[in-house]
Amino acid sequence: MKHPYRILLATLCLATAAIAAQSANPPPGTPLFNGRDLTGWTSVHDTTFEVKDGNLRLVKGMGWLRTDKQYGDFILEFEWRALEEKYDSGIFLRAGLEGKPWPKDGWQVNLRYDALGGLVKGFQPVVPAETPKKPVNQWVKFRIEARGKRITLDVDGERAWESDALDATRGYLGIQAEDRSFDFRNFRLQELTP
């Protein structure tokens, strides 16, 4: 009878040690969102973003929320979930400030339900979307790596695509607002040397 308790105790100790090791060694990169307020971000045009339950929530609007800082080469990791059907948003990469409601000829990884994960420049698809639609309220992890003209997207740990078409060298990162609600969390950015 004593052996099952010892096994359970050993299992609990190992699990606790694994959790402690993970929190002691967070994933590489710098958090872009602190979970409390929008420090480090600026709203562009008519948008409403807020912090809700520690998540960065896109409430509504037609515009975008951009980082205060510009970036060149980087690895960006984050999680997102759509909060309503027929969702539509995107992540802008190396974007400029010209254009309304969104950056003119801006590069974007699409978060539209029927074009999920596609790479877009302005309104033109560059890499077609092959990621299937995700259910509302399901967290999805994206990893975007940009090095020079090369850009890759991983979805939930699996490579979705690679491209050498990226022609912008530096700019803002941002979240597109297209009147659909989303939550975002765990934004981490690792700057890379060119």
β-partners of residue 145 are: 75, 152
* pLDDT at residue 3 in the model: 59
Distance CA 19, CA 10 (A): 14
Q: Do 128 and 112 contact (CB within 8 A), yes or no?
A: no
| Confidence (pTM) | 0.84
- Is residue 11 in a domain? no
Q: What is the reported pLDDT for 119?
A: 97
Is pLDDT above 70 for 87? yes
Which is more confidently placed, 151 or 2? 151
Place of tokens 């690792």: 190
The pLDDT of residue 163: 96
Residue 89 lies in a domain: yes
Does the residue 16 lie in any domain? no
Identify the DSSP state of 4.
Answer: H
Enter the tokens of residue 168: 């912008």
Tally of domains in the chain: 1
Q: Does 13 reside within a domain? A: no
Residue-range definition of the domain harbouring residue 185 = 30-191
Supply φ then ψ for residue 133, to 5 degrees.
-55, 140
Sequence letter at residue 128: P
CATH number, position 79: 2.60.120.560
Residue 168 has pLDDT above 50, yes or no: yes
Q: Which helix (H) or strand (E) holds 44?
A: strand 41-52
Question: Do the bridges between strand 124-127 and strand 89-95 make them parallel or antiparallel, or are there none, so unpaired?
Answer: unpaired
Alpha helical stretches, state H, the chain: 2-24
Whether residue 103 lies inside any domain: the answer is yes
SS3 call for 179: coil
Q: What's the chain's average pLDDT?
A: 88
Q: What percent of the chain has pLDDT over 90?
A: 80
Residue 16 has pLDDT above 70, yes or no: no
What is the rounded CA–CA span in Å between residue 96 and residue 28? 26
Residue 156's contacts (CB-CB under 8 Å, 6 or more residues apart) are 140, 141
Is 102 inside a domain boundary?
yes
Contacts of 10 (CB under 8 A, 6+ apart): none
Q: Where are the beta strands (DSSP E) in the chain?
A: 30-31, 41-52, 55-71, 74-82, 89-95, 107-110, 119-121, 124-127, 140-147, 150-155, 158-163, 171-178, 182-191
Answer whether the bond into residue 27 is a cis peptide, omega within 30°. Answer: no
Is residue 18 one of the residues assigned to a domain?
no
**Predicted pLDDT of residue 20:** 45
At residue 40 the predicted structure's pLDDT band, cuts being 50, 70 and 90, is very high
**Is residue 158, in this structure, part of any structural domain at all?**
yes
